[in-house]
Amino acid sequence: MKKICSGKLMLQVSKLGVLAAVALLELSVAAGDFKLTADGNFGKISYKNAPFIESVTTRVLKSVYFAADAQKSMADLPGGGQVFNVWSQNPASLFRQEVAVYPDSSGRDVVEITYMAENPARKGYRGKSMEVTLPYSFFEGASYRAYTINSRQVKEIKGVFDAKLPDGALGKTPIRFLAIEKGDTKLIFDLNPIGPGDYMNNYRQSAVRGIWDVVRRGNKLVFVQKTSLPEFGGVTGTKMRIMPGTFEDYDKLHALKMFHYTMSFTPQKLYSFGAAKTGAAYSKKDLAAFSAADHAGWVSDTAQLQARAFSPEGAYYGNVYGRNGKFKFDNLANGIYIVTVGAGNFGKLKNQFEIFCNRDSMTGKPISVPEQYGMTFSQAVQVKNNVIELDFKGDFIVSVIGGQFLMADGEDFSIMRPFWKSNGFEPSVLFRNDLWSKPGRFEPAVEKFFMPVPGQECAAPLKKPSRTVSLPAINEQTKWRFGAKTIAFGGYTWNEYKDDPEGLELHLDNLVKLKYNTIMVGGLHARHAYKGHEKRMLDELEKVAVAAHKRNLKIIDHHDATLLWNTDSGFRVMAERLSETERDIRHGLPNHRFCIMNRKFVDTYTEYCSELVRRGMDGLQLDEVNFFSHGCVCADCRKKFHEDTNWYLPVNECDPALNTHTNKLFQVWLEWKLVRETDFFINLRSKLSKINPNVSFMQYTTHYGLTASRLRQSNSARDLEEYARAIDWFGTEVMTRNPYKSVRGTIPMRKAFNLLKFAYGTPIWALFYNNNWDVRYMSYAVCNMLAQQPMISYMTCPAGKTDFQNFTKHPDNMDPVTAVPQAKIALLFSRSSRDFNRLVGFEPELFGLAQTLEEMHIPYQIIGEVSLKPEVLKQFDVVSLGSSGCLSEEQAAAIKEYAQNGGTVWLCNITGIFDQYGNFRKEWLFKDVFGFNVHNSPLRNITEFETADGKIVTMQNPVTYFTTKPTIRGASPSGSAITPIGKFPLWIEKSWGKGKFIYQPMQLAGSLYALEGAPGRKWNFTRDDALADFMHRLLRERLSKSSCWTTDAPRKVYTTLYREPERYLVHFLNMTGSAIRKGEVMDHTVPADAYPALKNPVSFQLPVNDMPVKQVYAISPDFAGRKALQFTNKDNVINVTVPPELIKVYTIVILDSK
C-alpha cells in the first residue's frame, strides 16, 4: 500500500485507485457546473459560478467544529472530479468528512457529502452532527417536492420557498429526498442515497442516517443531520448527493420507494409465455415482438417459435418454444437487477439450450428441463446501458421472464463501488473502503421442482406432520432463567471495547453491583449483511462471554437469522447467496429473505450458531426464523412439503390453495409451516446440544402478537404455542406504555403468557416501556406475582419512593421454579379460534371472563390447546372454552372424557361449530351431549335479559344469541335472553357421565372485556355495572366451590395464589388508584397518589388440608424483613387479616409450614 503524505495529510491509497493527493488550503477545483473550494476545514461549493454550499461542517465535540487536531486534504479523483477530506484520528474525536464533486456514470455532475464518527464506550462527546449551509436566496422562489419521514413509508410534501417561509424545519418531519425547480435550475438533494433498502437509516447508531432536517435560519437554508450516540459507544454517519434533475428522477436513482422487511420483492418486469391464464403479477408476452412503446419483446425472428398452453391455468404450464431466440427489455434505470428465467416442461417438450444474459451465460452450459418439471434460473446482473437482453441458444423452452430492480447505480455503495468516494483514514469500524472488493460474476441460482397435474395435488392419502418436543431439562444448570434479571448490554458495532478491556470489566462489574445476572447482547442485527466483520464480531463476543462468565453472568445473543435488508452489504449478500432465498408464492421470484427450509442456508446458519455457542453464548434469541406472508415455494419447500404430507404445493399460481384460508390444501400447508418453523429450532438444538446441552432458545412477541391472527393479517404462520416445543424461554414487549391505567387488560394478558409455562415449565419475561417510577413498580409487581421475570432497567430510586429493584433477591420471595399457581378453573386460549373464528372473536369471552374473575379474586389458569388432555384437565373443576369456535375432533374427545370423569365444561355461543380450520361443521361438535345443533345465523342486537328472580338487566352493548335446532325457548335457572321473537335460556345444562356441560348461547362476560390502551388513544371501555353485578352473582353461585379461597379485598386489589412445597403465597397488588374514563385520551402519567392507602383491613380464608401452617407473615418491597400476622386455623382453613398499612403497593402474605 502506497502512502502519500503532505504535512499532516495521510491518505491511504490502495488498489481501488490511486489518489493524486495534494494538501492545499484555499485550493479550488472544478467539475462541470459544481466547483469545490476548500477554505481551511470548511468545504464550499458554487453552482454555475454562484454561491451554493457556503460550508459543510461536522461537530463531534461539544464546543467546536471538527477538532483542534483535524487534518485535511484536497485530491483529484480517478475518472474525474475532486474530493476534499477533513478527519481526526484522535480517539476523543474520531471522524471523517468527505466532500466530492465528480461525474456519475451518466455524465451528470454530482456532489457527494459523507461523514462518519465513532465513540468508544463511555468516551467521547455523545452528540454528533453535520450541517450543510446554503444561502436562502438560492432557494427563494423555487418550488419543491419532497419525500418525508423514514423510508418505511411514502409521504410526499410540496410547496414553495418564498420570502414568508418562517424560520424552522421545512415540513414537520425529516426529509429524505428533495427536488427544487427555479427557472432553469432543477436540482435534486438525495438525502438518503443508499435508499429505502437500508432499513436502519433512521437509527441513531450503527447506521448511515438518511433523514435530515431542512431548516430555514434567516437568510440561510441549513441541512441538519444530528444524533446522539449511546453511552456505551457506537458509530453514526450520513451521506448526501446533490445533482441536476427533477423529482421524477427518483425512480432512476432508487429501486424502491419504501421498504419493510416483511414485504414482497415486487418485480419491475414479469412476463408469461404461452400460458392461457396467469396470476395478476404477470403480463402476457407470448410471441410479441419488441416495441419501443412497450419496451419489451422478442428481437429475434419468431416465425420458427410457437406459443402453447398445456393446462388452463398457470404461467409455468405454458411455453414459448423453438430454436434460438432473443428477448429484450429496455428503458431500465442502470443498476443491479435480479433476472429470472423460468421454464416449465409440463408439455414434455424436447429441449437443450443455454441462456445468456447481456452476453454472459446464466446456465454455464447447455441444460435440459426434464418432463413434468420446472426450472428457474435467477441471477444478479449489472445493467449498464438501460437494457437487458436474453439469448436462448439451442432448442429452448421458456415460461417466465422476470426482472427485479435490486439497487440503482446511485444507491450502490457496496457492490460496484465502496462507501467513501476516496480511500483514506477510516474513522469507524463500519462502512469502510478497506473491507470492500469488487465482485466477480454473481452465480446463478437454479431451482428444479416437480409440476403436479393441476387439481391433483391432493390425490394421495394425507400424512399428518409429527410433533416432537425438545427442551432442556430444568436442573441446576438451567434454573437461572427463572430468576434472570436481564439487561441489554449494547455491542452496537462490537468495537466499543476492542482496545479497552478495563472498560469492559468496569461495565460488567457495574451490572453485577446492580444485581443483574444476565446480559443480552446484540448489535449488527442481521449479521450476515456485514461483510468482512464476521470473525471480528465472534472474537469480541467471545471476549465479553469470558468476562461475563467470570462474574457468573449469563449471556444471550440476539440477532436476526434471515433478513436481507441493505444495511452495510445486505443486498450484495442477497446477490451472492441468491440460491438460499425465499421464493414468492405469486410468481416464484426471490424475496429479500433467506428460506429456513433451504438446505444450504440451514447448514451455513447452523455452523454460525454452533460457533456462537462454542464462543460462550448461553442462549440465543433468533429473529425472523419463520415463513413470511409471501413465501415460500422454493424447491426445498416444495420437496419437503411433499415428503411430509404426501401432497404437492401447486405450481399453478392461480390455485386458490395458495391464499384461501378455507381451502383444505392451504390449511394443511399452514399447519406444515407451523410445525416446520419449530422443527428448525429442534434440529438446531440437536446440533448445538452437542456443544452445550443446556443452551437456551428465546423468543418474544407482544400481547397483540399473541392474540392477533398473523394468518388473517399477513398470511404468515408464526405461533408461540407451537414454538414452545423447542423454545425454552419466552418474552413479551408490553406495548401499552401505561400498564398502570391499562391494568384491567394487562394482568390477564400476562396470565395468558403463562399458558406456555403451565404446559412446558417455560420461564416468561416481560419488557415494560415506561420510566415513571410508580408504573415501573407496578410492572415489576405484576411479573413477580405471576412468577415471571421483569426486564426493567435499573434506575436511581426517587426520593420518597420504594426501591423495589432488588426485591427479587429477597430471601422469602417466591421461587419461580417450584411455585405452582393455585386454580380450579381453566380458561382455554384457542389459537385455532384466534386464527379461524368467524361470526364472533375468541378474545372477548375469554378475557372478559378473566377480568371478571380478577375482580372477584377467583383464581383461574389460562391454558392452551396443547393442554387439552384428560390427564391435564383433571386438576380443574371447571374448564371454560369461551368462544372457541374452532376445535378438532381429538380436542372434543379429550374435553368429553374430562366431563365424563366429573368435570364441568362451559361453552359459549359458537364453541365447536367449526373444525380446527374454521370450516362450518355439518353437525355441532357437542350435539351428542345436548341433543341439538346450533344455528349459524344468530339473533342480533340483543340488549336485555331477565334474571332468575324476574329482574330485567339492560346491557350497555348489544350482543348476539345463537338459537338451537330444534329451538329451545323459555328461561333457565339463571335467567333468559329477551329477543324480538321471545325469551330464550341464558344457560342450558346437560349431565355427561359424572360431570356436566353448560352451554351459554349469548355473550355475557365478553361485554366486560377491556382492551389495553395506549398513550395518545382514547380509552373505549366503561364497566357495565349491572351486567358485572349479575355475573358476580352468577359466578359466585356456580363457581364458589372452585374458588380455592375467599377474600374481602377490594376488586381493584389484584391477587394471585401460589403454592411451593412448604409454603402458600398470597400476592396483593393495590391498584385502587387506577382509573380512566371512557373517551379519555390515555397518556403516560399516573395520579400523584398512585397507590392510595386502603381504608380497611383485608381478610382471607385459605383451605390448607395437606400442609400444616406454623406461621404467617408478610413481605414487601415497601418494608424491610418480615411482618408477622395473626391467623386462626379452623378445620384446616386458615383465616388471616392483613392490616391496610401492610398493603401499600405490593405485598406477599406467606403461609409457612416451617
Q: What is the CATH number of the domain that holds 342?
A: 2.60.120.430
For 992-1041, the DSSP string reads ETTEEEEEE-B-SGGGG------TTSB------HHHHHHHHHHHHHHHGG
Q: What is the CATH number of the domain that holds 714?
A: 3.20.20.80
pLDDT above 90 coverage of the chain, percent: 91
Segment 123-166, tens digit of pLDDT: 999 999 999 999 999 999 999 999 999 999 999 999 999 999 99
Residue 858 CA from chain centroid, whole number? 35
Same domain, 274 and 365: yes
Q: Is the pLDDT of residue 941 over 50?
A: yes
Same domain, 884 and 921: yes
- Is residue 556 assigned to a domain? yes
Residues 6+ apart with CB under 8 A from 449: 373, 374, 375, 635, 638, 639, 651
Instruction: With beta carbons less than 8 A apart as the criterion, state whether 356 and 390 touch.
Output: yes
**Extended strands (E) in 561-706:** 581-583, 590-594, 619-623, 696-702
Residue 9 pLDDT: 36
Chosen domain end from 207, 222, 253: 253
Per-residue pLDDT band at 32 (split at 50, 70, 90): confident
pTM of this structure: 0.93
Same domain, 289 and 229: no
Q: What is the CATH number of the domain that holds 1108?
A: 2.60.40.1180
- Is residue 591 assigned to a domain? yes
Residue 1119 pLDDT: 98
Per-residue pLDDT band at 1039 (split at 50, 70, 90): confident
Please report the sign of the dihedral spanned by the C-alpha atoms of residue 383, residue 384, residue 387, residue 392. negative
Same domain, 138 and 51: yes
Same domain, 199 and 276: no
Instruction: With beta carbons less than 8 A apart as the criterion, state whether 653 and 697 touch.
Output: no
- The closest of 240, 148, 140 to 188, measured between CA atoms, is 240
Per-residue pLDDT band at 12 (split at 50, 70, 90): very low
| Beta-sheet pairing, 988-992 with 335-344 | unpaired
Same domain, 1002 and 1081: no
Residue 717 pLDDT: 74
- The closest of 803, 796, 790 to 763, measured between CA atoms, is 790
Segment 222-231, tens digit of pLDDT: 999 999 999 9
- Is residue 924 assigned to a domain? yes
Indicate the length of the chain as a whole number.
Answer: 1154
What's the rounded Cα separation, in Å, for the pair 198 and 17?
A: 27
Same domain, 196 and 244: yes
Same domain, 557 and 658: yes
- Is residue 582 assigned to a domain? yes
Residue 14 pLDDT: 34
Chosen domain end from 380, 397, 412: 412
What's the rounded Cα separation, in Å, for the pair 873 and 898?
A: 7
Quick one: average pLDDT of 1090-1113?
A: 97
Residue 491 pLDDT: 75
First to last CA, the chain: 76
Same domain, 249 and 273: no
Quick one: average pLDDT of 738-753?
A: 98
- Is residue 143 assigned to a domain? yes
**CB count in 10 Å sphere of residue 50:** 12
- Is residue 191 assigned to a domain? yes
Residue 713 pLDDT: 61
Residue 21 pLDDT: 34
Segment 263-284, tens digit of pLDDT: 999 999 999 999 999 999 999 9
Chosen domain end from 390, 412, 434: 412
Segment 381-415, tens digit of pLDDT: 999 999 999 999 999 999 999 999 999 999 999 99
Instruction: With beta carbons less than 8 A apart as the criterion, state whether 302 and 357 touch.
Output: no
3-class SS at 835? Answer: helix
Per-residue pLDDT band at 646 (split at 50, 70, 90): very high
Please report the sign of the dihedral spanned by the C-alpha atoms of residue 314, residue 317, residue 320, residue 326. positive
Q: Is 459 exposed, middle or buried (0-12, 13-18, 19+ CB in 10 A)?
A: exposed
Q: What is the CATH number of the domain that holds 240?
A: 2.70.98
Quick one: average pLDDT of 236-258?
A: 97
- Is residue 453 assigned to a domain? no
Segment 1000-1031, tens digit of pLDDT: 999 999 999 999 999 999 999 999 999 999 99
**Domain range spanning residue 688?**
482-727
Same domain, 670 and 608: yes
SS (H, E, C) 704-738: HHHHCCHHHHHCCCCCHHHHCCCCCEEEEEECCCC
Same domain, 277 and 345: yes
- Is residue 721 assigned to a domain? yes
Same domain, 500 and 399: no
Question: How is residue 1066 written as a grid cell?
Answer: 398470597
Q: How many domains does the chain have?
A: 5
Q: Lowest-pLDDT range, 14-23, 196-205, 320-329?
A: 14-23
Q: Lowest-pLDDT range, 495-499, 676-680, 954-958?
A: 495-499
For 480-521, the DSSP string reads GGGG--EEEEE-SSS-TTTT-HHHHHHHHHHHHHTT--EEEE
